[in-house]
């Protein structure tokens, strides 16, 4: 599923923390977008552009367009190319300009923007940018934001994640065989929500390789394999008996129900009497007889 998300579109948020950085996974998304022919516009606040470009092949690097918010983020030197505040739709449209090719917009990181702008304003911009960009002729195929989850309150993280079609939470892998664990939550157009947990590793030039879902990669030394628990009998500790013994079953079969007439009773009833008319009904073998309602006069 993670590889499908990398090759897809829409709005995406990658959540990491101090224990597991999500920037390498972010670079996998950049490489995949570049191979699709997208022009990648990056708003970099956390690290310089040379560090973000490091490790990329030339085909990907030439498609990266940086809007530097790292060198002078608060415009103290009067040289800010991209101020962190205000974070508005107008600023984003100016960044992309008149780029006619499909665009992938990258916010590195969304945490820096949230720390310098009201959460409501950031959510409004994030939600409406893709729609308004389309009305102005811009082809924004994907928006990717890197969010450092341990820098914000849970309510802030939840508010921002509600606006994204896909949320990928990166955590440490349980073994050295994988580089990380990705918990993927995807909201599809059919309103179906899909969750998956995958182990992944990153190959050369930031090619992503998924190692499968929900399967432990290796067992720790001395760890015993869990044996499945024996099935419990739900009727084991009851104060009453749900089952019949063989003797009780035979006694039940010998009981003659009141609406099943014996041969003697039938013969006496079938004897004709002068001046008397009677109607007899004998159920066929194929009739559906309800033992609780033999006369079929109960309306339940």
Domain assignment present for 78: yes
pTM: 0.67
pLDDT over threshold 50, residue 221: no
State the Cα–Cα distance between residues 39 and 64, nearest whole angstrom: 7
If pLDDT is split at 50, 70 and 90, which confidence band does 148 have?
Answer: very high
Q: In b/e form, how buried is each residue of 191-204, taking b as 16+ CB within 10 angstroms? A: eeeeebbbbbebee
Question: Would 22 be classed as within a structural domain?
Answer: yes
Q: What CATH code is carried by the domain that includes residue 131?
A: 3.40.50.300
Residue 215: predicted pLDDT: 53
* 205 within domain boundaries: no
What is the per-residue pLDDT across 157-206, written as a single tens digit (0 to 9) for each?
999 998 889 999 999 888 777 888 999 999 888 788 889 999 988 888 88
What domain range includes position 117? 11-168
Q: Indicate if the pLDDT at residue 218 is higher than 60.
A: no
Q: Is position 253 within any domain?
A: no
When mean pLDDT is compared over 13-17, 63-67, 130-134, 210-214, the highest value belongs to 13-17
* CA atoms of 53 and 32, how far apart (whole Å): 14
Domain count, the chain: 1
Three-class HEC string of 195-246 = EEEEEEEECHHHCEEEEEECCCCCCCCCCCCCCCCCCCCCCCCCCCCCCCCH
> Residue 21: is it exposed, middle or buried by C-beta count within 10 angstroms (0-12/13-18/19+)?
middle
pLDDT tens digits for range 227-280: 556 677 777 778 888 788 889 889 888 887 776 777 777 777 777 666 667 677
């Amino acid at each position: 599923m993670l590889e499908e998300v990398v090759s897809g579109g829409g709005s995406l948020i990658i959540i990491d923390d101090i224990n597991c950085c999500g920037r390498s996974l972010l670079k996998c998304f950049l490489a995949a977008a570049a191979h699709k022919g997208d022009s990648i516009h990056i708003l970099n606040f956390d690290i310089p552009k040379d560090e973000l470009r490091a490790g990329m092949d030339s085909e990907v690097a030439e498609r990266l367009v940086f809007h530097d918010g790292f060198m002078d983020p608060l415009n103290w030197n009067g040289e800010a190319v991209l101020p962190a505040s205000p974070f508005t739709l107008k600023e984003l449209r100016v960044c992309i300009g008149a780029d006619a090719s499909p665009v992938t917009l990258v916010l590195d990181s969304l945490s820096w923007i949230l720390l310098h702008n009201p959460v409501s304003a950031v959510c409004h911009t994030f939600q409406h940018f893709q729609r308004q960009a389309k009305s102005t002729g811009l082809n924004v195929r994907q928006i990717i934001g890197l969010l450092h989850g341990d820098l914000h309150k849970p309510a802030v993280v939840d508010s921002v994640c509600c606006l994204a079609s896909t949320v990928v939470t990166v955590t440490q892998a349980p073994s050295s065989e994988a580089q990380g664990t990705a918990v993927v939550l995807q909201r599809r157009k059919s309103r179906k929500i899909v969750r998956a947990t995958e182990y992944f590793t990153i190959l050369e030039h930031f090619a992503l390789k998924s190692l499968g879902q929900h399967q432990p990669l290796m067992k720790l030394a001395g760890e015993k394999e869990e044996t499945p628990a024996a099935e419990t009998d739900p009727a084991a500790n009851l104060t009453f008996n749900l089952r019949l013994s063989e003797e009780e079953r035979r006694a039940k079969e010998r009981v003659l129900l009141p609406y099943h007439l014996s041969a003697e009773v039938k013969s006496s009833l079938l004897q004709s009497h002068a001046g008397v008319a009677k109607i007899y009904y004998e159920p066929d073998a194929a009739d559906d007889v309800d033992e609780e309602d033999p006369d079929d006069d109960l309306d339940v």
